[in-house]
Amino acid sequence: MSMPGEPETAAVREAVSAVFGVGVEIARDPWKLAGGTMHDMWAVDIARGGERIELVVRTSPRVRDDLTVARREFETMSESRRRGVIAPAVHGVGATSSGEPYLVVGRVQGETSPRPLLRDPELAEARRRILPQLAASLVTIHSIRPADLDVALDSPAPGEEPLLAQLRGLTLKYDEDRLERHAVIEWALRWVRRQVQASPARASEPVLVHGDFRVGNIMYDRDGLVAVLDWEGAHAGDPLEDLAWFCVRVWRFGQDRLEAGGLAQREDWLRAYEEASGREVDRPRFALWEILCNIRWAVITLNQVKAHIDGTVRSQELAAIGRRTGETELEILRLVQQYKDGH
Amino acid sequence: MQDRPTADELLEAIEEFLRDRSKKEPDRLLRFQFLVASNSLAILRREWENEEQALEAEWAGLGALLGTAGRPGSLRALRQAVLERNSLLCQRIGEGAFDGEAAEARLLAHLLEATENKVRIATPAALQ
């Protein structure tokens, strides 16, 4: 049993003091929330000038010194929220005296679990409302230019098409992570590159891209969207990437006929974005992005099974994910066929 | 010869046990782990049933694309040979051997068949 003031919560208290001042009054001691594999998530309440502030403090004991990523999250979340994206309030970022990065955000009430959102009858209204809310969030995120931010973003090389930059990075990851060679992935990487080279996109300046925008990374309640979460992958790129990642088959959580996150048809999703942005979505380009995003997920499954096999994280769950590469390869082949049929 | 249960029956027994635990377990994360484990056993049962047939088909498909070769005798040798021929196929893909329209169509037909056979064992629901 962990008591207040013990080392486990020391980082949380230090973060809160650094952000709100040394004399800040803790109204409710920190308690642990379900977190990710790299981070610990803590809830804590403070009192300031008669006002109670409910917080989430994320500490990252396993990614010490990776303050750059936390700062980038802070900046991208702050600027997005300032422009109207529904995201948690961001209070502070930094590192503790022992070098543990932390991020302090406002605590919001809601659910993130995908399956109820996609299925529960009492969430029908939330499902109806959330699609335009998500589209509007993306349009606002995509209105931010890298120069608007105080941090550097990972960006395509000058003049490089974002899709090719992403493809280059994925090829490197694939070469690093594969335990055996995958003909579907190697062929698809080559095929997408050849399509892009045959018809380069109109030049456009890279914008802020969320990078992991999907069901599971959004918080909802009965009224719809409560918060856009998980900004660690934010980078500069093409808006189509966020639209396409949202449609990757694995993020439909079994509602496969509704390509947009198990919530709506792909075409309804693209129309919602067009309505919110007033700009037309380039359908063939989007199709290439969706194929590339599925390749990205396939490569992530290779990375996860490798983490098990090489002993980084022994886990039967990670091992089992290795057998899910095939269904993603099948999706890639189906999407390529659809693309060819449409040409 | 082993006595009953057969390997398949034994796997099925463990699979049923884990599936049952996954339903009754109060802890959400453990429930998920039991479900993953029972699914993995179901994969193994399908693999032992269908692996040889799937490898035969893949071997034939690779032969049609890369030139035929003598089929190794044992299942273990066939598995290794398919792995090596897949590497060779990847190398040819990288060299542009399947960039032409007709070659690409032949390659895609093979990849689709091999992937469907793989998925039929690993996650058959994805075939629907």
Contacts with A337 from chain B: Cβ below 8 Å: 108
Pick from A183, A317, A324: which is nearest to B33 by CB? Answer: A317
The pLDDT mean for chain A works out to 93
At A187 the pLDDT is: 98
Q: What is the CA angle A306-A193-A297, rounded to 5? A: 30
Contacts with B116 from chain A: Cβ below 8 Å: 330
At A301 the pLDDT is: 97
At A71 the pLDDT is: 94
**Bridge partner residues of A235 (DSSP):** A209
Contact present, A141 and A85 (Cβ < 8 Å):
yes
For the sheet containing A101-106, what is the strand order?
A25-33, A40-48, A51-59, A101-106, A90-95
| Least reliable range by pLDDT among A207-216, A263-272, A285-294, A305-314 | A305-314
pLDDT over 90 (residue A343):
no
Phi, psi of A113 (to 5 degrees): -60, 120
Average pLDDT over residues A269-294: 97
| Least reliable range by pLDDT among A13-27, A54-68, A193-207, A257-271 | A54-68
Q: Count of CB atoms within 10 A of residue A271's CB?
A: 16
- Smallest CA-to-CA distance from A141 within A276, A272, A337 is with A276
Contact call for B115 and A330, based on CB within 8 A: yes
> What's the one-letter identity of residue A209?
V
Contact call for A336 and B108, based on CB within 8 A: yes
- Out of 1.10.1740.10, 3.30.70.260, 3.40.50.12280, 3.90.1200.10, the CATH code matching A114-341 is 3.90.1200.10
Contact call for B86 and A187, based on CB within 8 A: no
Pick from B40, B108, B119: which is nearest to A320 by CB? Answer: B40
Which residues in chain A are classed under CATH 3.90.1200.10? Answer: 114-341
C-alpha to C-alpha distance for A213 and A196, rounded to whole angstroms: 24
- Smallest CA-to-CA distance from A323 within B77, B100, B48, B120 is with B120
Pairing of strands A207-209, A101-106: unpaired
Average pLDDT over residues B87-115: 98
Q: Where are the domains of chain B?
A: 7-127
At A64 the pLDDT is: 63
Average pLDDT over residues A49-65: 84
At A2 the pLDDT is: 43
CA distances from A250 to A134, A136, A229, A301, A322 (A): 18, 23, 18, 11, 14
pLDDT over 70 (residue B127):
yes
Residues in chain A: 343
Longest CA–CA span in chain B (Å) reads 56
Query: What percent of chain A has a predicted confidence (pLDDT) above 90?
Result: 85
Phi, psi of A208 (to 5 degrees): -65, 130
Distance from CA of B47 to the nearest CA of A (A): 11
Contact call for A329 and B115, based on CB within 8 A: yes
Residue of B nearest to A318 (CA): B36
Average pLDDT over residues A17-25: 90
Residue of A nearest to B62 (CA): A183
At A1 the pLDDT is: 43
The token duo for A208 is 């802020």
> What's the one-letter identity of residue A213?
F
Which residues in chain A are classed under CATH 3.30.200.20? Answer: 7-106
Interface ipTM above 0.90 = yes
Give me the CATH code for the A7-106 domain, please: 3.30.200.20
Residue of B nearest to A34 (CA): B29
DSSP-assigned letters across all residues of A41-87: EEEEEEEETTEEEEEEEEE-GGGTT-HHHHHHHHHHHHHHHHTT---
Report the predicted TM-score, pTM, of the whole model to 2 decimal places: 0.94
Pick from B87, B107, B126: which is nearest to A181 by CB? Answer: B87
